[in-house]
Structures are given as structure tokens and as C-alpha cells.
Structure 1
Amino acid sequence: MLRYRAELDADITLASGGSLRARGLLVDVPHAEVSHPEIAACAVAGLGLRDVARVELDQVRIFAEEAAPGAGRSPGRIEYVELSHVIEAGMTTYPGMPVPVITAHRTWEQSRPYYAEGTEFSIDRIEMVGQTGTYLDSPRHRYPDGADLAGLPLGRLADLPAVVVRTVGTGRRVIDAEDLEPYVVAGHAVLLHTGQDRHWATPEYGTDAPFLTEAGAKLLADRGAALVGIDSFNIDDATPAGPRPAHSVLLAAGIPIVEHLTNLGELPPLGARFTATPPRIVAFGTFPVRAFATMPYFEPHDHTRSAGWLPTTGPWS
């Protein structure tokens, strides 16, 4: 049985700063006609890197060799990554918005008369606005005639291939079109990793928070992004009484927005799949979601190091 490998030189730039240089690196690749972006993604996976901004390849050579019995990678399990903040009574998501109130509608003790001896249940009540915790905006949030939560197709919300765009560590607030230009985004959940979630539940969270520009939103809409998420205070520059161009552009194009994500640093640039599904509520525009990512974990069967995720294509040369 043949397996395909690439021998290459690579210069890898890390989103958090610094770079790596590899010479004569050997990488397993899926087939003989593999593209350079696919090779770059495989190289990042093989090195176990997740905080990668760019990969430049040189001296690439593809070759086939006989695989040892049992060599290669086989799927072992699915890894789940939580991307939502926990909702608690009294927490502040957005200053000025009502905080969630969690109470018991009927306690275990109060339920006992309704059931057989030894059987009891609690029924809880929560009062909150849709903009609580990690939440999803449907087009109706911005436009009266836009699709509401019940009108969103599952294909826009569940098991989407994810592209993680990292600006964390750059010191810049703005995520612009030039930051997104290298990425393939059609049909993908585009997740903007700014690192602002480290300030969650503190006054700093809403101070000078990173945001997506109108030009960046237009690029994502024009190129067919399925969903856009951010781990920041707002996808727009949330100045009082200011315009909200990113919301306006994306929601006009039917692209849901997920705000207040967290843990995006746990995801690879490519290879994860993203899900964020709200309840099917008619005439409601925004609601909290349990956002998460899944990544196939591949168990190594030989001396070759195997990363915990499988890449596809990427924004690399």
C-alpha cells in the first residue's frame, strides 16, 4: 500500500508573535495531486501548531512510498471544544442590558404532591434578554422583515467547516478586509479570534474592543461566508449612537452573527467544525447559544507525530 509524503522547507509565522523555520520537513499528505495550501495545512497539523497566521512553502517535493503495515492515521474519537460563556444569575453581558434572573417556578419539595411517593422534579424559570452570554443574531435583529430564529436554516448553524482568523497579539482593534483576503470562506463559519474574551466579566471587556470593519464584512458577504463569529464585545465598533455596518452588511446577506465567543485559541486555523444553534422562536431576533467546535482526533500508528485535528485547505502559499 502506497502513502504520499511531501518534503519541504517552510517559514511559519505565529499569530501571537515570532516565527518558525523548518528545512527538509517530511509531511504525510492525502494524495499525489495535493495543493500547496493543503500541504501547508498538513505541515501545521503535523507540528501540532494552532496559533498560525501564515505558512510559506519552498522546495516542495511529493513522493510515494510503501506504507508499513498499520501505518498512517485512523480516526480515534471526536474532540469537543466549548466556545460559549456560562450564563449565571446577575451576570452582565452588555452594560445597560437587564441581567438574567434565575428562579424556581416549582421546587422539588413543591412538586411532591403532583407525583407518586419518592418522585420529585424542579421546574426553573429564567428571565433575560436575548443578548445574554454567547448569543446569535438572526437577520431579524437588524431588519423587521429579516429571518427570525425559527427561520434560520440548520445549514447556517450546525456542523460548519470553520476558518479561524487570528488577530490576537497584534495590538490592533480593527479586523479589516486585508486580514480576511487570504482565506477561503465560502460556506464556512468565519471565527474572529481577537483574544478579548480574556477580559470577560470585567470593565476592560468593553473598552477598546476589537471589531470587524464594514469592508471586512462586505468581503465575507461577497465571498459567501455561512456564519461569522467573534470573541469580542461586539462585532461592530460599539460607540454610543454609532453606526453598525458589520451587523447591517452581514445580516442583510442572511449571514448569522455569533458574539461573545470564547476559547477560540483552542481551535486550529482549519479543520474544526462549528455549531451554534438557538431555539426555534418565532418573531425573535437574538438568543443565547451553546456554541462548540468538533475536531476529529487521529491516533498515530507509527513514529510520525499526529496532531489532534485534520486540516483541509488554507490561506497559505
Structure 2
Amino acid sequence: MTDYRASFDAAIAFSNGGDLSVHGFRVDLPGPAAGESEIAALFVASLGLLMTDTVELTNVRIFAEPHKGTRGGPSDSASGRGSAGPGRALVSGRLVELGRLSGDGGTCLEAPGGDLAAVPLGRTVDVPAVVVRVAGTARPVGVGSLAAFDVRDHAVLLHTGGSGGHGLTVEAAGWLVEQGVALVGTDAGSLDDGAHADGGDGGARADGLDGGARVGGGARVGPLAREVLLGAGVPVVERLAGLESLPPTGALFTAAPPRLEGVGHVPIRAYARIPG
């Protein structure tokens, strides 16, 4: 079987300020038909670049060459991407409350298919967590904010600081599904809050790392990110609290709902266990 790689120049801008340029960078590809969006995500993952806002690729060239083991790429066995996660061992550790009181809107879980009874415990109990910090930025959460993390069989928790405008883009939701995410949560009031707002001249983003499901004036086009996730069997948790107390990785997240048949949305008590 022939392996393929890509060579390219890239200009990266970060949501917390600063930028980076590279020339002649190479990554392993899953096949010769990989598009610029996929190449950009592999590039961000290979370097572990956090808070990536935009990536612009130029001089892209795809060619046959044996894989070198790009981090997060198709031949990286160490990352666990593309393979089933290991069994979870029982651990002790400090518990951190992550739920809001019901009087403050309350932390809620929405179940795929509108049926809480069908949600597997493996998606909601002691799930390894990835905390993606986007507080202080003013853009929706795109693939660039996520690609540095190994999210397979993980709960991806968006730490927005509770402010608006940090909704998950449709493209990012699709990427999470492809990567095998277990659950997606946010401390914002809605996972889709601001994800379809234009915030500028109405033009769609063309950097390949941010969902463009919007038109001038912020009108919605196509499905919401939550619909993409729920349609793929991924539970959604909203209005979390205390995410600033969690490390970026290493915590175990629990948001187990009651087993109610035919009920799709319910308040829950969410918490995390920090081993150690």
C-alpha cells in the first residue's frame, strides 16, 4: 500500500495573539485525496498548537512517500487516534463540582435521539476530559482550537468563561465526530451560541479550520453543531461551571443522566475527578 505525504508553507494566527510561519513543512496523509482543511488539522495536531485561530496554506504538494510517523497522523500509534481507547482503571483523586445550581439555569445534558435511557455509561461516567480554553477570544470554536488534542473517547469541554460568541462551528463538530469524541460540553448557555454569527463583513472563512455555515448578517445556513453531534450519537452538556479548576488533560468527567426512556433533555450534576 502506497503512503502519501504533503509539503506546504503555512501562516498561523493564534486567538490569544501572535503568529507563526513555516516553509516546506511535511505531514503524513491518510491518502492522496486529502484536502487543505484536513492537511491544516494534521499540521496543527503534529505540533500541538493550542488556541490556533486560522491557518493559511500555500504551495501545497501531495506526493507518494513512506510515512514518518507524524504526531496525530495515520501512522502514529502512540497517539491512539484511529484505534479504540484502552479500558479505564478505577482511580482515586480530588472531586471538582462542575454543575450550576438549578436557579442559575442549571447544567443540562441533551441525549442523542431524545432518549436518555439509551445513552451508554461509557460516554458519561469517568470519561477522560480535554479542556479547550477559548475564554478571552471573540470567535467561534473551530477545528484549529481542537486539532492539537487527541479527542478519541474523550469528553471535550469548552471553557469559554461563560461569555457569548464561543459556539462550536459545524465543521468542528463534524471533525469531533470523525475523531471519535465521546461527549462535548461547554460552560456557555448554548453549544451553538454565536457559531453562526458573522462578526465582520459577512464573508465565509476560507482558512479550512473554521466552520463557514453562515452568510452575511449572521443568518443560519444548514444544521447546528449540536445537531451534528447528537445525530452521530454524541451527548451534549451545557451550562457547566468551574472548568478553570481542571487541567487541560488528565481529569475524568462525569455527567450521568437518570435513565429516563423517551426523555431527551434533563438537568444533571456534573463533576470531575482529578487523579493524584
TM-score range, shorter chain: 0.5 to 0.7
Match of 1:220 among 176, 186, 192: 176
Seen in structure 2, the aligned counterparts of structure 1 residues 293 and 233 have a Cα distance that, compared at 3 Å, is: same
The answer as to 2:239 corresponding to 1:273 is no
Which structure 2 residues correspond to residues 1-317 of structure 1 after superposition, within 5 A?
78-88=93-103, 93=105, 133-141=106-114, 148-169=115-136, 171-196=137-162, 208-237=164-193, 242=220, 244-297=223-276
Partners of 1:183 and 1:222 in 2: CA distance: 13
8 Å contact 1:189–1:225 — kept in the other structure?
Answer: yes
Q: 1:209–1:183: structure 2 CA closer, same or farther, 3 Å change rule?
A: same
Distance 1:241 1:158, change over 3 A: farther
The residue identity in structure 1 corresponding to 2:226 is H
SS in structure 2 opposite 1:81? Answer: strand
- How many percent of aligned residue pairs carry the same amino acid? 44
Contact preservation (8 Å) 2:107, 2:239: yes
What is the Cα-based RMSD across aligned positions, in Å? 2.9
Deviation at 1:180, TM superposition (A): 0.8
Aligned pairs, number:
173
Is the Cα–Cα contact under 8 Å of residues 113 and 231 in structure 2 kept in the other structure?
Answer: no
Q: Which residue of 1 aligns with 2:37?
A: none
**Contact 1:15/1:168, CA 8 A, preserved across alignment:** no
Q: Within 1, Cα distance between the matches of 2:51 and 2:118?
A: 35
Structure-1 separation of matches of 2:107 and 2:223? 19
Take 2:102 and 2:171, find their aligned partners in 1: how far apart are those partners? 33
CA 1:86–1:164 in structure 2 vs 1: closer, same or farther (change >3 Å)? same
* C-alpha deviation, 1:182, in angstroms: 1.2
Tell me, in whole angstroms, the C-alpha distance in 1 between the residues paired with 2:165 and 2:135: 12
Query: Structure 2: how far apart are the matches of 1:245 and 1:256?
Result: 14
Contact 1:209–1:233, Cα closer than 8 Å, also in 2 = no
The two structures have a TM-score, normalised by structure 1, of 0.50
- Residue by residue over 1:259-311, the C-alpha shift from the partner in whole angstroms, topping out at 9 and shown as x without a partner, is 001110100011100000111111100111110000122xxxxxxxxxxxxxx
- Deviation of 1:17 after TM superposition, in Å, equals 7.8
- CA distance in 2 between counterparts of 1:265 and 1:77 reads 21
Deviation at 1:247, TM superposition (A): 1.1
- Counterpart Cα distance in 2 of 1:273 and 1:259: 17
Amino acid across the alignment from 1:82: E
Q: Report which of the two has the higher share of strand.
A: 1
**Runs of 4+ that moved beyond 4 A:** 14-18, 238-244
CA distance in 2, matches of 1:16, 1:178: 13
Unaligned runs of 5+ in 1: 1-13, 19-40, 42-51, 55-75, 94-132, 142-147, 197-204, 298-317
SS in 2 for 1:271: strand
2:229 counterpart letter in structure 1: L
What is the letter of the counterpart of residue 80 of structure 1? L
Cα drift, residue 209 of structure 1: 3.4
Seen in structure 2, the aligned counterparts of structure 1 residues 53 and 80 have a Cα distance that, compared at 3 Å, is farther
Aligned AA for 2:97?
Answer: E
Larger radius of gyration: 1
Give the aligned partner of residue 201 of structure 1.
none
Equivalent residue letter for 1:191: L
Distance 1:84 1:244 in 2: 28
**Cα distance between partner residues in 2 of 1:78 and 1:296:** 4
Instruction: Give the Cα separation in 2 of the matches to 1:275 and 1:230.
Output: 14
CA contact 2:51–2:145 (8 Å) conserved in 1: no
- Alpha carbons 1:137, 1:256 under 8 Å: kept: yes
- Paired amino acid for 2:267: P
Report if aligned partners of 1:237, 1:244 keep a CA contact under 8 Å in 2. no
